[in-house]
Amino acid sequence: MLRNMAGELSEGSMEQKIGPCISMMGTRAMLFEAPGDFTLAQQRRIWALTEASRERRDVAEVIVGVTNLMLVFSQAPEDPLAIAHWLLKAWDTLPERHIKGRLFEIGVRYGGELGEDLFHVAEHACLSREDVISLHHGAEYTVCALGSVPGFGYLHGLDPRIATPRKSVPSLKMLAGTVTIGGKQAGISALTGPNGWNSIGFTEISLFNPEEESPSLFAMGDRIRFYPESIDL
């Protein structure tokens, strides 16, 4: 449904029962949300839509999220419905975009004080902590989007057997480099601060350096493989 944040647009509804949702965010931005689960195939379609959107002259910026993207226009569009129709057509017709990213192999110190939620993840999954570690580093992950905080990559590829809801009470000072699980996603904390994801380990890798030409270590399409540097149960 195409909506304005102050209320539904008078031109009518574009709702589809299982289709994308398109919403106006103020007067100069439009949010496109894909239907269905968080899959790599869906994210590749988002990447394709992102590439096509960046070619529009009226678009100043495209912000990519997990199965969603936001268009920021250079000025308030005169006909938002026409742009929404264009997005829907592009979504239905564009092929998936495959990005050949870099491969990062990242060592993790699993468990211990900096992976204090490992026991909780194991308990939730009805698995041993050793099995959680094995499943976590046995997968290959893809960076689907960057966001939340500078340098943070949303990772696809977590084994569903160890998917664990975010904590009801966040950690107040989770260190940058903490290896985490949040729902169906895996991640690495990019900055030190409050965090509701489950900590299962720690890595010394730095994800964000504002002094670098490319401040974020990761980019969309990069792949990650974790390996255990140590295990403290």
Residue 175: per-residue pLDDT: 96
Q: Which residues pair with 139 in a beta bridge?
A: none
SS3 65: strand
152, 189 in Cβ contact below 8 A? yes
Q: How many CB atoms sit inside 10 A of residue 210's CB?
A: 8
Q: Whole-angstrom Cα distance, residue 41 to residue 148?
A: 22
Q: What is the pLDDT of residue 3?
A: 54
- Please write the tens of the pLDDT for every residue from 134-172: 999 999 999 999 988 899 999 999 999 999 999 999 999
CB-based burial, 48-74: b 16+ in 10 Å, e otherwise: bbbebbeeeeebeebebbbbbbbbebe
Residue 181 has a pLDDT of 97
Burial class (CB in 10 A: 0-12, 13-18, 19+), 217: buried
Q: Which pLDDT score, from 0 to 100, does residue 2 have? A: 57
pLDDT at 124: 97
Q: Give start and end residues of each alpha helix (H) in 94-170.
A: 118-125, 129-137
**Cα of 9 vs its chain's centroid, Å:** 29
Q: Which of 224, 228, 233 is nearest to 105 (CA)?
A: 224
Which pLDDT does position 8 carry in this prediction?
37
> Taking a C-beta distance cutoff of 8 angstroms, is the pair 16, 66 a contact?
no
Q: Are 190 and 150 in contact (CB under 8 A)?
A: yes
Q: At 73, is the secondary structure helix, strand, or coil?
A: strand
How far is 61 from 69, CA to CA, in rounded Å?
10
Rounded to an integer, what distance in angstroms lies between the CA atom of residue 175 and that of residue 158?
21
DSSP letters along 160-197, please? GGG-BPPPSS-EEEEPTTEEEEEBTEEEE--SSEEE-S
Residue 232: per-residue pLDDT: 95
Low-confidence stretches of the chain (pLDDT < 50) are: 1, 4-16
